[in-house]
Chain A
Amino acid sequence: DQQVKQNSPSLSVQEGRISILNCDYTNSMFDYFLWYKKYPAEGPTFLISISSIKDKNEDGRFTVFLNKSAKHLSLHIVPSQPGDSAVYFCAAISNSGNTPLVFGKGTRLSVIA
């Protein structure tokens, strides 16, 4: 039973355009969400997060949007750059719980020059 779902295993975007990566969750207790980026042969690195008290968090080219009623979040990268090509993992946690982050299966983003 996947509590965090990334339904698109891969995405290709032209350099300079917007990349939109989607994530859905089922557990209504989740109240903190994170995105991680992973290059081949490296561990995932933390990218950006959002608390459930917000619906948007922006950091440079990266913006995360949260729609609590739809249990949906998305990561927008604009403009996309070839160096953004990586696997992106969505993760969620309940701050009031006692369990670690739950990760999605990841979306492989390819930014084409």
Chain B
Amino acid sequence: GAGVSQSPSNKVTEKGKDVELRCDPISGHTALYWYRQSLGQGLEFLIYFQGNSAPDKSGLPSDRFSAERTGGSVSTLTIQRTQQEDSAVYLCASSSSLNQPQHFGDGTRLSIL
């Protein structure tokens, strides 16, 4: 299908390691978003990219988190020196523009041991 694709679907790693999560948005979508959902919580906004504008990083919880979007398409979310509280489902979404409905991937379930 032509939906949002995220990889890996599951990631288990040891505390202190770095992880990279990947998102392939829907082709042609200029806006890309990262969220996370911790157990029993709602969707927590992390960062979004809109076209060639500087990303809005206002939701990133610490400087261990960073994201980039190469060529206006694929995005990677990097978490350095992971902590147990980073365990969550990380969801990526894309939309044709900022105020259009977002289409979500199925997420990456990250577990920090």
Contacts and interface: CB of A to CB of B under 8 A. Distances in A.
A32 B99 contact: yes
Nearest to B3: A43
A42 B33 contact: no
A45 B45 contact: no
B42 interface: yes
Given A43-B4, A43-B93, A89 B103 contact: no
A45 B104 contact: yes
Contacts of B102: 46, 100-101
Interface string B20-50: 0000000000010101000001110100100
Contact of A103 (B4, B31, B42, B105): B42
Given A89-B43, A105-B42, A100 B33 contact: yes
Contacts of A102: 45
Given A43-B4, A43-B91, A43-B107, A98 B42 contact: no
B48 A100 contact: yes
Contacts of B93: 43-44
Nearest to A95: B99
Contacts of A45: 104
B106 A103 contact: no
Nearest to B53: A98
A80 interface: no
Nearest to B4: A43
B56 interface: yes
Contacts of A42: 106-107
Interface of B: 4, 31, 33, 35, 41-43, 45, 48, 56, 91, 93, 98-99, 101-107
